[in-house]
Amino acid sequence: MLKLALPKGRIYERVQALLSDCGLTLRLPERGYRPECSDDRLAVKILKAQNVSALVGLGSHDLGFSGHDWVMENQADVVELLDLGFDPVRIVAAVPVSADLDTLLAQDRVVVVSEYEHLSRSWLEARGVKYHYMRSYGATEVFPPEDADLIIDNTASGKTLVENQLKIVDTLLHSTTRIIANPRAMDDPERRGVIEELLLLIRAVLDGRDRVMLEMNIDEARLSTLVAQLPAMKSPTIAQLYGNTGYAVKVAVQKGAVARLIPELKRLGATDILETAIRKVTP
């Protein structure tokens, strides 16, 4: 049985939806932390997002979903298998808008507030700063200027920092949600096999979310010109229409290309164009 750790909160909802699209159903009892999975090879537990990478690194769990920031903060002994791109944030250092960073860092004691102790200490000590570190438990941005000189926090847009009269002075790292594994689990053939099956399904779902299927008809005289303009994973599927009246063409394309591609297909003579959602793509 593979032990899978999922993060609590809004990330759990995105991961649950992803697993559902893979064909894996999770049923979570009210106030429970151990969802039942439709695949009995998986033993699932919900943990605080901050703890997932540390516990996977310790071997309490074989596989998990964690922000890259917490992998780095916990110095977790894990393998990052796949970047899902979910919840992109930056870990930044920020000070009051009126502060001069060089003057601030030259003080005899800089009060620094953050949830990220390791990242904070590493950043400060690399600059030779004399500091007092204080851990926050949410709402880090409210500490300056009365209770902190500098904060290190995560931000998606920077809007909350601006609203609290703070400015970003450095970016420590960029973070997204990753699938992580314990190295010993990857060394075990049976557990590795289950992990690789799950990764195959997840990649297929993510690729499917990014593509649509376009189907169209075209007469024989214009077929070669049309096919030359079609983006495709390998090559389009082409079949002759009943009665030899032309050809049906089918191709999977990136969603972002559709708005410009359909008018171009019409210009090249395509008719009866259909766009269909794709659930999974497995090359």
pLDDT at 275: 96
Name which residue leads in pLDDT, 65 or 28.
65
| The pLDDT of residue 219 is above 80 | yes
Residue 203 has pLDDT above 80, yes or no: yes
Tokens 């791109």 label which residue?
85
Q: What is the pLDDT of residue 281?
A: 87
Q: What is the pLDDT of residue 1?
A: 87
Query: What are 241-258's pLDDT values in tens digits?
Result: 988 889 999 999 999 999
Q: Please say whether the beta carbons of 135 and 28 come within 8 A.
A: no
**Phi, psi dihedral angles at 229 (to 5 degrees):** -100, -5
Q: Each residue of 166-189: pLDDT tens digit? A: 999 999 999 999 999 999 999 999
3-state SS, one letter per residue, for the chain: CEEEEEECCHHHHHHHHHHHHCCCCEECCCCCCCCEECCCCEEEEEECHHHHHHHHHHCCCCEEEEEHHHHHHCCCCCEEEEECCCCCEEEEEEEECCCCHHHHHCCCCEEEEECCHHHHHHHHHHCCCCEEEEECCCCHHHCCCCCCCEEEEEECCCHHHHHCCEEEEEEEEEECEEEEECHHHHHCHHHHHHHHHHHHHHHHHHHHHCEEEEEEEECHHHHHHHHHHCCCCCCCEEEECCCCCCEEEEEEEEHHHHHHHHHHHHHCCCEEEEEEECCCCCC
Question: Dihedral (C-alpha) 236, 239, 245, 246: value to the nearest 10 degrees?
Answer: 10
pLDDT at position 30 is 80
CB 161 within 8 A of CB 136: no
* pLDDT surpassing 90 at residue 86: yes
Q: What is the mean pLDDT of residues 38-47?
A: 95
Identify the pLDDT of residue 229.
87
Question: Predicted confidence band at 38 (pLDDT cuts at 50, 70, 90)?
Answer: very high
Q: What domains does the chain contain, in order, with CATH numbers?
A: 2-85+176-207 (3.40.190.10), 89-175 (3.40.190.10), 210-277 (3.30.70.120)
How high does pLDDT run on average in the chain? 94
- Amino acid making up residue 4: L
Of 71-80, 119-128, 251-260, the range with the lowest mean pLDDT is 251-260
Distance between CA 126 and CA 104 in Å, rounded?
15
The 10 Å Cβ neighbour count of residue 108 is 5
pLDDT value at residue 31: 79
Q: Quick one: pLDDT at residue 177? A: 96
Are 167 and 128 in contact by the 8 Å Cβ rule? The answer is no
Residue 283 has pLDDT above 90, yes or no: no
Instruction: Give me the mean pLDDT over the 49-76 stretch.
Output: 97
Percent of the chain with pLDDT over 90: 90
Asked if 85 and 106 touch (Cβ cutoff 8 Å), the reply is no
Q: Enumerate residues 6+ apart whose C-beta is below 8 A from 255.
A: 210, 211, 212
Give pLDDT tens digits for 131-159.
Answer: 999 999 989 999 999 999 999 999 999 99
pLDDT for residue 106 is more than 90: yes
